[in-house]
Each structure stands twice: as structure tokens, then as C-alpha cells.
Amino acid sequence: MKDNPFLTRLNQYRTMWILVFFDLPTETKLERKAASKFRKSLLNDGFTMFQFSIYLRFCASRENADVHTKRVKLLLPKKGKVGILQITDRQFGMMELFHGVKEVEKESPHQQLELF
């Protein structure tokens, strides 16, 4: 029953991902502290950093996603912008990710240290 493709397909539409996007001010010490507290609270609730201002969390069901979404809403800082998006595992799996290649600095012509 576990390998039934029908159940697997349904599961991809039942399991959810929560994405939290935010742009928080960090100009003052208090703003930096609030932004840091918000990020740490997301991590403590099982979110993972996807990019610096995008955190995500897998949830086994829509009901579970609703619980964590409500928790995020309770953590909202007073300033800044926060977006919360729930998508199915199937939708998340259709995301296309691209990673650029980091350029490596070319070494200057060989400069060896001579020991006498």
C-alpha cells in the first residue's frame, strides 16, 4: 500500500511547505536585535534558511502548516515586511534552482620563497 502511486501523488498534494520572506530594517541596534530575534525564532520552530531573508519549513499536512503559520504571525516584528506562503510539496518540487559558478582568482605568476 505504501508504494501505491495514487497515494504518493495525493501525499505530494497534502504535504506542505511554508516559505517566510522578509525584509526587516537593521539600521539601529534595536532593529538588528528584532531582526535577529525573528530569524532565531524561525529556526527554533524548525525553519531552515533558504536564502538570507527566506526561510522554509516542511509540514506533514495543511493543518500542521496552519499551526506553524500562526506561530510565525505571533513572532512578527513591529517594523519591516514579512510574507508567508504555503505551497504543496508537489509545487515545491517544481521549483527550478540555479547556482552560479563562483569565480576563482587566478594566481599571479609563481613567486616562490627561496630559502638559503
Q: Which residues are annotated as a binding site for Mg(2+)?
A: 23
Residue 58 · residue 88 · CB < 8 Å: no
Query: What residues form DSSP beta bridges with 55?
Result: 20, 49
Task: Please name the residues in contact with 1: beta carbons below 8 A apart, sequence gap of 6 or more.
Answer: 7
Give the residue numbers of the binding site.
Answer: 23
Query: What residues form DSSP beta bridges with 115?
Result: none
